Amino acid sequence: MKAYFQRYFPERALVCMAACGIATALLMSCGGQTTSSEVINGPNQSGGESGGGAPRMALSGAYQGTLNSSDFISFLTPAPDLGLYGLYYLQTNGNVSIYPDIYRGSLSNVTSNSASIANLSAFQFGTHLVNGSLTHLSTGTAEISGSSPSNYQFVLTGITLSNGQSNPSFSATALTTYAALPGSWTGTLTDNDAGSAGVSLVFDSAGVMSNSVSFANCPLAMTLTPASTSTKPYYTARLEIAKTTGCRRSELNNNQATVLTGIGFIHDAQVSGRSKRLEIVLTDATGSGISFRGDQ
């Protein structure tokens, strides 16, 4: 836990992607002009739950894609949440990608195999330049469209990538998800320029983090509550950081307690000697976030 370290990235100008995009099997137009976009391809999963009269979202579930050895792990939640949560592992420690950019947005215009995101945020590890100002956060929009039973297209516009890529394309496969949360998960916590490896989070049968964890001088109290779905299980996540001197999150919140929300989900670890992997995506109201990836 105390093996806390920081990594800073030099300033660099990045090219902002235009506000409208065009991708294979999904076309958009803006004033008759064609612009660049970020395209992420992933698998379609049948089924999904709906509630409150909302359309059925068959594309819900967990997905994984890779580009240049960098994973994009995402989860599309069914109604009533109808959200996108993503971790894009662009930054590395040595040869291991453990520092993700954090994506989050709410789904609208939902059909069985498509949706829009008008409020997509990307909280990026390491500062970068946007319109001449250093920032961790980019905002934009997205369109999701299922093009076949095994593939969906995820088209992002307006997001400035922290690694300078302007138009990556992902081909991904569905991930099996699990509901067995209790126990110890060991991995990496990240927030802004800070990352801490070898962190263990222990959850009891109620989904409450039962061990004492402090990260970047911030005491963490977390709860993962099972969502009302069984076919593609996931957890709603709540992280509270108490008012603490020297805690950046507390200081940014006018020295008050801070609450971040999001989800957690468990999938195949795909790592030798590890069976399951827990991903946690947490953000505040601005899109600023904290992530955790741990294995059992």
Q: Which phi and psi angles does 150 have, rounded to 5°?
A: -120, 15
Find out whether 63 and 74 touch, Cβ atoms under 8 Å.
Answer: yes
Q: Which among 189, 187, 181 has a CA at the least distance from the CA of 205?
A: 181
Q: How many CA atoms lie within 13 A of 77 on its CB side?
A: 25
Backbone φ and ψ for 252, nearest 5 degrees, come out as -70, -20
pLDDT at 277 over 90: yes
Local confidence band at 11 (pLDDT 50, 70, 90 cut-offs)? very low
Bigger pLDDT: 151 vs 35: 151
Which residues are within 8 A (CB) of 228 and not within 5 positions of it... i.e. 6 or more apart? 49, 51
**Contact, 97 vs 112, CB < 8 A?**
no
> Which whole-number Å values give the CA distances from 82 to 122, 150, 163, 240, 267, in the listed order?
18, 20, 29, 23, 20
Considering only CA atoms, give the Rg of the chain: 18
Cα–Cα distance for residue pair 216/196, rounded to 1 Å:
8
pLDDT digits (tens, 9 = 90+) for 56-101: 667 788 888 776 678 889 998 988 889 999 998 887 666 667 789 8
Instruction: Name the more confident of 104 and 253.
Output: 104
Return the minimum-mean-pLDDT range out of 11-15, 42-46, 65-69, 103-107.
Answer: 11-15
Displacement of CA 100 from its chain's centroid (Å): 8
For 20-43, write each residue's pLDDT tens digit: 332 333 223 333 333 334 554 444
Per-residue pLDDT tens digits for 122-141: 898 876 556 666 678 888 88
Q: How many CA atoms lie within 13 A of 37 on its CB side?
A: 27
What residue has token string 């660099």?
12
- Which 3 state secondary structure label does DSSP give 100? strand
More confident position, 33 or 254:
254
Is the predicted pLDDT of residue 172 greater than 70, yes or no? no
And the tokens for 253? 């919140």
CA dist list (Å): 58 to 44, 203, 268: 8, 30, 21
Q: Class assignment of domain 176-295?
A: mainly beta
- Please provide the DSSP assignment of 55-98 as one string: PP-TT-EEEEEEETTEEEEEEE--TTT-EEEEEEEEEEETTEEE
pLDDT at 210: 97
Select the more confidently predicted residue: 55 or 18.
55
The sign of the CA dihedral 3, 260, 223, 262 is negative
150: left (phi over 0), alpha (psi -120 to 50) or beta: alpha
